[in-house]
Amino acid sequence: MSNDSKILIIEDEAPIRRFLDILTTGHGYQVKTVETAQEGLKQITTWNPHLILLDLGLPDADGLDFTKELRTWTETPIIVISARDKEADKVLALDAGANDYLTKPFGSGELLARIRVALRINTNISTDDVIQYQFGDVILDVAMQTVTSSGEIIKLTPKEYKILTFLAKNMGKVLTHKQILKEVWGGNYTEHAHYVRIHIAQLRHKIERSPAQPQYIITENGVGYRLISDD
């Protein structure tokens, strides 16, 4: 199996680095591995990977600060792979700009699925000109500012529409409560996570076949939400 997608692994623990290398190259990805943030920065600027797998505990830099630095000049998807398993750590990484967060230990299948999602994000990274998003039978038409399901118009409130549009523009990416609040309500409302929960519940009742078992708007417990397609 061959694949044009390039993955950069930044991980200082040799056994994990080898495992990630073998797993990803075995599925056809082009892979380079480094041990430090400095080496990673060099590869990002010269090799231009499509995806970065990043450990937070690097010997020469804090992974969160490194992520923030990268986000000042690149939108390359970042999946954080870390032993830090607290919800607060996940939120910090995602707020810093990571696209996803995977806690060690993890299964091979789960990582590969997250990689596929992240690479889809990369192929659609410029969303300014996108006028329509589709997930299942649901179509969000940005130009017309309409949402339909199986051709039927779904009536959304302005806040519901803003949330859905923000999720769609970041399809597959985990968005924290804080990120959604800042985008939809503004910077003064970033501590009001219950606003998001209420509106997400309303959205699910309008676009999901089974709101209690959502297909599209997925909860990341204690962190936020992501919108996924069913392909």
Does 147 share its domain with 195?
yes
User: Tell me, what DSSP letter sits at residue 132?
Assistant: E
Shared-domain flag, residues 65 and 117: yes
What's the average model confidence in pLDDT over 206-210?
94
What distances in angstroms separate CA 104 from CA 16, 80, 101, 194, 199, one per listed residue?
A: 10, 10, 10, 29, 32
Instruction: Read off the pLDDT of residues 162-190 as tens digits, 9 standing for 90 and up.
Output: 999 999 999 889 999 999 999 999 988 88
Position 201 pLDDT exceeds 90: yes
Distance CA 230, CA 216 (A): 7
- Residues facing 218 on adjacent strands: 226
The model's pLDDT over 22-64, given as tens digits with 9 standing for 90+, comes to: 999 999 999 999 999 999 999 999 999 999 999 999 999 999 9
The closest of 93, 228, 113, 126 to 167, measured between CA atoms, is 228
Residue 117 has pLDDT above 90, yes or no: no
**In 3-state terms, what secondary structure has residue 123?**
helix
Q: Considering only 89-103, 110-124, 141-155, which range has the smallest mean pLDDT? A: 110-124
| % of the chain residues with pLDDT over 70 | 94
Q: Are residues 28 and 107 in the same domain?
A: yes
Q: Is residue 98 part of a domain?
A: yes
Residue 79, amino acid: I
* Within a domain: 59: yes
Q: Are residues 109 and 160 in the same domain?
A: no
- Could you tell me if residue 118 is inside a domain? yes
For 147-159, the pLDDT digits (tens) are 999 989 999 999 9
Same structural domain, 18 and 91: yes
State both tokens at 202: 């309303």
Domain containing 209 — which CATH number?
1.10.10.10
Rounded Cα distance between 203 and 192, Å, is: 18
- Summarize the confidence of residues 219-226 as an average pLDDT: 93
129: pLDDT confidence band, cut at 50, 70 and 90?
low
Residue 172 gets the label, from left (phi > 0), alpha (psi -120 to 50) or beta, of left
What is the model's pLDDT at position 191? 85
**Residues 84, 50 within the same domain:** yes
Mean pLDDT on 102-109:
92
Per-position b or e across 127-147, b if 16+ CB within 10 A of its CB: eeeeeebebbebbbebeeeeb
Query: Does residue 15 form part of some domain?
Result: yes
Same domain, yes or no: 136 and 109: no
**Could you tell me what percent of the chain has a pLDDT over 90?**
78
State whether 98 and 11 are in the same domain.
yes
Residue 91 and residue 197 in one domain: no
Domain final residue pick, 123, 142, 168? 123
The Cα–Cα gap between 163 and 44 comes to 32
If asked whether residues 139 and 88 sit together in one domain, one would say no
The region of weakest confidence among 15-29, 92-106, 117-131 is: 117-131
| Number of domains comprising the chain | 2
Residues 107 and 10 in one domain: yes
Domain residues for 65?
A: 6-123
Instruction: Detail the DSSP E strand segments found in the chain.
Output: 6-10, 30-34, 51-54, 78-82, 100-103, 132-135, 138-141, 146-149, 152-153, 175-176, 217-220, 224-227
Residue 1 falls inside a structural domain: no
- Residue 193 has which token pair? 């996570």
Q: Let me know whether 78 and 59 are in one domain.
A: yes
What is the CATH number for 15? 3.40.50.2300
